[in-house]
Amino acid sequence: MAISTALQQGILGFGESGRLGTIISILMYLTFFIFILFGQRIQLRMMLWEIDGFLKRLDAMRSEARKKSIEMIKEIGKPKEDPTPHVDSLLEQFLIMPVDLDPAGIVWKIDHLLDVRDMKFKDDIRRIAPEASEAQINNLENLVEASLALNTIFRIVRHYYLLGKRTSSFYIILQLQMILPLVMQEAEALMGATRAFALGQPIGDGIGPLVVSKLLLGREKRRIEKDMVMGETSIEGRRVIALKAEGPGGNVGKPGDAIRRIIEELEGKVSAIIMVDAALKFEGEKSGEISNGIGAAIGGIGTERFKIEEEASKFKIPLYAIAIKESILDAITPMKKEISESADRAIEAIRRLILDRTKEGDTVIVAGIGNTIGIGQ
Amino acid sequence: MEGRVNWYSQLMAAFGIFVLVYSAYMVLSALLSLQGGRNDEAQYSLMIGLIGIALASSSLFLMRKRALQVKPPPEVFTVVRCSGCGFRLVRRFQVGDYVNADIGQCQQCNGRMTIASIYAESEGGAGA
């Protein structure tokens, strides 16, 4: 009211007698020069402010994941002493990749290092959670790994944020700001994963093992290689050997070693290898859609894929892939209904592929790739 | 902590609405000035009013978008099925449930009940 009275009386009025018009004009010129001289600095400050907000959210996420890991270890593992220092030490663990100046034979070196890392991680969890069963140890291992990933993301983002702030480097800050929405998406997915791992719920990535478990329902299974199980069934007169990671604990197993062993046992007499795995969908595609392809459908660092490709090319066995599309968020959070329902359609796709590409009496290997948490044999 | 964030968000929303209302008043006063023949006054009022409306709307829109982004974790369900009569039961997930787990005897036919699937569904029913 006071402003409108002032406007009416002309004290702050516009027009010839008013002063507000002049003030606004001066302010606009001033703003123009400020932006010309300090525009980039202002933009830098605004970007740093935005990154600071993201960093605070990442810090809250990693703290929550760490807290959840400690709580679950205490609840399930019933340790005699406080596991917090051990968990903190696990959250800072790292892996040094082998030197790649001479890349020949590097896959076996990476495989060895991954085995050592996996064994040590599991042993550490076993030590701090002595009462946990084998399946629970696998779940706790997955939970701590998700917390470790969140911790690493936070440390890397903080590193570049502080580096950019200290050096006032526009380009470091700009790159960080541009990539942060994607990083946050991954961090949100990891937070969802910690909930699933803590409770032992199946995740989207488990669709491959789910398909194989449905395929082998009521059939006899046996353990083959480390953390892998296999069973036999028959589809349209073909002998189908299906394999998956051993559940229901969080586990991906070593499908490369298992497939190699089966092929060697059968002396290469395998007509096809069909791999079923979750694959990242493009934006706009529906979760749970199925697509067929050629090649070894398996993610990870590449060692398992290398082994499968080596063995398949050695015996000239065709490699087929059935991919169930899902986003990164779907892959590591509790399995969505539409993904779970796609298992039957994937089995139908396997049946069609077997009918089209093999003859009666042939032997086919079907591998369900992915984390088998919450999915039994 | 959450309460403090909510209080701050509400304060910011109230401020945004105040700026929006005042900017609308400025646009109205610009029209009145135009009718009265005070063109300079109308020009400035219109400019300030439109800038105010744009800033307040964008800030309120962003606030709404952020509020919608915070979703509760999806509900996880377990589907139990009898291998004998096909009796199907859907219940909330319990710790220890896993696909293919033997749950016990069927209430209908005394057959074996196993967990057929476990899936997540958000409140809207359109998946997690």
pLDDT tens per residue across span B26-68: 899 888 888 888 888 888 888 888 999 999 999 888 888 777 7
As a whole number of angstroms, the distance between CA B52 and CA B23 comes to 5
As a whole number of angstroms, the distance between CA A360 and CA B6 comes to 66
- Count the Cβ atoms, other than its own, within 10 Å of residue A23: 11
Which residues does chain A have within 8 Å of residue B127's beta carbon, measured at their own beta carbons? Answer: 287, 336-338
Q: Model confidence over A180-227: pLDDT tens digits? A: 999 999 999 999 899 899 999 999 999 999 999 999 988 999 998 778
* CA closest to A217 among chain B residues: B100
Residue A170, judged by CB atoms within 10 A of its CB (0-12, 13-18, 19+), counts as middle
- What pLDDT, on a 0 to 100 scale, did the predictor assign at position B127? 38
- What pLDDT, on a 0 to 100 scale, did the predictor assign at position A7? 52
Residue B107 has pLDDT above 90, yes or no: no
Instruction: Give how far Cα A24 sits from Cα of A11, B22, B53, Å.
Output: 14, 18, 18
- What pLDDT, on a 0 to 100 scale, did the predictor assign at position A83? 92
- A181 touching chain B per CB within 8 A: no
CA atoms within 13 A on the CB side of A147: 27
Report the run of H or E that residue B41 belongs to, with start and end: helix B39-69
Contact A302, A107 (CB under 8 A): yes
- What pLDDT, on a 0 to 100 scale, did the predictor assign at position B126? 41
8 Å CB contact of A247 and B98: yes
- A247 touching chain B per CB within 8 A: yes
As a whole number of angstroms, the distance between CA A182 and CA A298 comes to 23
As a whole number of angstroms, the distance between CA A353 and CA A322 comes to 10
8 Å CB contact of B41 and A377: no
Of A150, A154, A186, A128, which is closest to residue A51 (Cα–Cα)?
A154
Banded pLDDT at B87 (limits 50, 70, 90) = confident
Q: What is the pTM of this model?
A: 0.82
* CA closest to B97 among chain A residues: A374
pLDDT: which is higher, B128 or B16:
B16
The pair of structure tokens assigned to A127 is 């030590």
- Count the Cβ atoms, other than its own, within 10 Å of residue A236: 13
As a whole number of angstroms, the distance between CA B69 and CA A274 comes to 39
- What pLDDT, on a 0 to 100 scale, did the predictor assign at position B103? 87
Cα A301 vs. chain centroid, distance in angstroms?
12
As a whole number of angstroms, the distance between CA B45 and CA A21 comes to 10
**Mean pLDDT across the stretch A94-111?**
93
8 Å CB contact of A210 and B38: no
Q: Which amino acid is at B71?
A: K
Cα A303 vs. chain centroid, distance in angstroms?
17
**Mean pLDDT across the stretch A63-76?**
94
8 Å CB contact of B97 and A377: no
Average pLDDT of chain A to the nearest whole number: 90
Percent of chain A scored above 70 by pLDDT? 94
Residue A17 has pLDDT above 70, yes or no: no
Residue A82 has pLDDT above 50, yes or no: yes
Residue A18 has pLDDT above 60, yes or no: no
Instruction: Kindly give the pairing relationship between strand B88-92 and strand A363-368.
Output: unpaired
Residue B102 has pLDDT above 80, yes or no: yes
Q: Model confidence over A26-60: pLDDT tens digits? A: 888 888 899 899 888 888 999 999 999 999 999 99
- A26 touching chain B per CB within 8 A: no
Contact A215, A348 (CB under 8 A): no
Residue A15 has pLDDT above 60, yes or no: no
**Mean pLDDT across the stretch B106-124?**
84
Q: Which of A15, A21, A210 sits opposite B99 (nearest CB)?
A: A210
- What pLDDT, on a 0 to 100 scale, did the predictor assign at position A356? 93
- What pLDDT, on a 0 to 100 scale, did the predictor assign at position B70? 67
The pair of structure tokens assigned to A337 is 């209904």
Residue B120 has pLDDT above 80, yes or no: yes
Percent of chain B scored above 90 by pLDDT? 26
As a whole number of angstroms, the distance between CA B128 and CA B124 comes to 9
Contact A48, A56 (CB under 8 A): no
**Mean pLDDT across the stretch A321-349?**
93
- What pLDDT, on a 0 to 100 scale, did the predictor assign at position A326? 93
Contacts of A65 (CB under 8 A, 6+ apart): A146, A147, A150, A151, A190, A191, A194
pLDDT: which is higher, A277 or B109:
A277
Q: Model confidence over A285-327: pLDDT tens digits? A: 999 999 999 999 998 889 999 999 999 999 999 999 999 999 9
